[in-house]
Structure 1
């Protein structure tokens, strides 16, 4: 963002952004986050990417669709027409044997602070953070919650191979950042894959017209950028502002 605001005289930032929004889910997420902010702070730059945004406005993952459409709306441009209706994948109608769904993760109640979530192949464990919205979707579209859970877990492996978002990879990223002294926050690989898997699931339901684009209660799950928050000037936290830590945060900080 700073490079764009300063002028990007070499064109390197513009080239990197173009490459990102033509790349995989992870790169597109980062690129569209920048474009969402540019659409607010510097529309003249964001509007150069209209052709790319039109191509992404109905891309597979609803995460990408929603971000691209947000930029187009911010630029007061028309969103391309939705694609023609397609059949709902048969997976959603399959019947599975009843599966235990414990409220507590199979790996335990609380993951120690800073530790990645343990690896698991259990679909209900993989999608646990999305159960509240999957249950509402299941009710609205009259499909099995179990099937939505299993489909999302299946889509996680389609978004990226499990070895690329394992606990081992997350620890390697953490150690790498520590070694180079990088203190910036970053998206954990598994959380990004899960978000896009959920986005693919929503797209499948919308493209089959099982649910209208886009249910209001799923929007916050698909967000990749918050321009008012992302663009605000960061100020040091005053000493008198108390921040709770550790056990004070409770079970779900």
Structure 2
């Protein structure tokens, strides 16, 4: 296990995001799904263009799970390209100084406007610390043997250790704080995906426990179900006649 201190700009950015976008904290899921979609795009490109990857079994998807109760969590897994140890250090431990500087300079104090900027400057991942006390990132890069686990509380720094993982891809687990526990909910997740990510060009699945109750309202049985919760049809591939004004508005928001 190796311990690292956040680059100075990361600490400043985390403070800025958690305080200036506080009332718009739901955008964290939009940003995580957007990053997962990018990873799937890269993996798809590799399997189509690189002979070393054409034989890989690639089933592009994003899966979301949650656990409610006393220690709620929200987990998002993608089957994308994954990250190496170096990728983790460069992407999650540091930020391109130009991107950070530009993001900070463009912050306007208008939460709606600033919530759009966060994705444009590649710092959207850090929004998850608005709703989580700790974040784990388990990942394995396509074509590599080693897998890695990145862990941080979003305060002092982060740790990277070796992980056991067979398939390439990334799993992000958020240990939800008091403000974030509302997102350990089927209804909340489904609505946010419809609101921000319905256009994503890959299927997004939600795994949850369906509970049956008896006539007295007592829990009778439960079973785990997985449903697709987005259209998975890219905005730009749909016929213009099929698009409504709200589709353009939602796509612009993302």
TM range (shorter): under 0.3
Structure 1 or 2, whichever has the larger Rg, is: 1
TM-score by length of 2: 0.22
- Give the helix-richer structure, 1 or 2: 1
- Give the strand-richer structure, 1 or 2: 2
TM-score by length of 1: 0.22
